[in-house]
Amino acid sequence: MADRLVSGKSRDEDLSLDTSLRPRRLAQFVGQDKVKENLSIAMQAAMQRGEPLDHVLFYGPPGLGKTTLAGVIAAEMGVNIKVTSGPAIERAGDMAAIVTGLRPNDLLFVDEIHRLGRAVEEVLYPAMEDFFLSWVMGKGLGARTINLKVPPFTLVGATTRYASVAAPLRSRFGMVYRLDFYDEGAIRDLLGRSASILGVEIEPDGLEEIARRSRGTPRVANRLLKRVRDYAQVAAQGVITGPVARASLALLEVDALGLDNVDHSVLSAIVGKFDGGPVGLETIAASISEEADTIMDVYEPYLMQLGFLARTPRGRIATRLAYQHLGVPYKEKAPHLQNSLWQEKGG
């Protein structure tokens, strides 16, 4: 299914945008201040010792800068970066070929690292700890073990599902950082930088309008800016004002909170088809013809941050705030469901 404007995913359409707008240095990276501070100290210490940076794992919702930070680390450390992803590495030999091709202190970035196969992970364990590869080729009497020393390197992993990363692999990362949604101020700063790079004339109220609807996600913010820029160029002499931004975003079906048609479909299905829940994720996905993984990784985190959706042991429940946003009268839940919701919130 095609990516949506506020999905937090990126494909070919946005490759040129990503390339031009992604910061190259830590000082240019907006937001995630604690992560940046810790990374800066670790990188300076590693360079002073002449060692590779310890392995780093970034996790959190899509579009928050995990890939960008990997590129920033490589630039700051002055090393090459090799980029791959978990699904692209099917065999242990593939990983061995990648690692042996690295030069000393290079950075290997693995996106969706939770999707690495077990055999591939087992090749990584000694490589991460001792910079040593050991794997078996062949089967039965013809099997043989291959041992190979590899140059010291830094593995940077990224995942939207931290719990799905195997425990032995997680334990081998010296630094683990969660990237959180950005506040509106950070998104405004990011949009101001992006508008300057793109040569877009944007007024403060236009900047505010886009920032408010960006879901706290830099990738979404930049994509909305690009679409609003198109609208302003065609319909408003190229200047993004508040009214121009509102008109453009309304045309794109992005509401005042940044919710798009899929977000509304998820909430409407729970409220309208399943009486507010609880309802299972697979059932919601089937009812709106969307993938369950996409709902869980892309849409649920923001809906939960807004307080529109709650996960309970019995399934997903639409909250009172969701009913209010949809303009539907709220229905009180039965006591046992209220208790489940209360327990899920830590009561």
Show me where the domains of the chain are located: 32-178, 184-251, 261-344
- Residue 11 above 50 pLDDT? no
Contact 318, 270 (CB under 8 A): yes
Confidence of residue 335 (pLDDT cuts 50, 70, 90): low
Mean pLDDT of 29-42: 93
Catalytic residues: 66-67, 111, 160, 219
Q: Could you tell me which residue, 12 or 327, shows the higher pLDDT? A: 327
Q: Does domain 261-344 have CATH number 1.10.10.10?
A: yes
Q: Could you tell me which residue, 275 or 142, shows the higher pLDDT? A: 275
- Entry field: residues in the chain: 347
Mean pLDDT of 76-89: 92
**61 vs 81: CA distance, rounded Å:** 23
Whether the bond between 278 and the residue before it is cis, its omega within 30 degrees of 0, is yes
Return the pLDDT at 345.
45
Q: Could you tell me which residue, 49 or 340, shows the higher pLDDT? A: 49
Fold of the CATH domain 184-251: Helicase, Ruva Protein; domain 3 (1.10.8)
Mean pLDDT of 219-226: 93
Give domain 32-178's CATH superfamily: P-loop containing nucleotide triphosphate hydrolases (3.40.50.300)
- Residue 171 above 80 pLDDT? yes
In order, the DSSP letters of 177-208 are EEPPPPPHHHHHHHHHHHHHHHT-EE-HHHHH
Mean pLDDT of 18-25: 76
Return the pLDDT at 119.
84
In order, the DSSP letters of 310-329 are EEETTEEEE-HHHHHHHT--
- Report the range of poorest mean pLDDT among 53-57, 67-71, 291-295: 291-295
Return the pLDDT at 93.
81
Return the pLDDT at 204.
92
**184 vs 326: CA distance, rounded Å:** 23
Return the pLDDT at 136.
66
Confidence of residue 13 (pLDDT cuts 50, 70, 90): very low
Confidence of residue 112 (pLDDT cuts 50, 70, 90): very high
Q: Could you tell me which residue, 93 or 220, shows the higher pLDDT? A: 220
Contact 109, 159 (CB under 8 A): no
- Residue 179 above 90 pLDDT? yes
Mean pLDDT of 134-150: 72
Q: What mean pLDDT value characterizes the chain?
A: 85
Return the pLDDT at 1.
37
Return the pLDDT at 100.
87
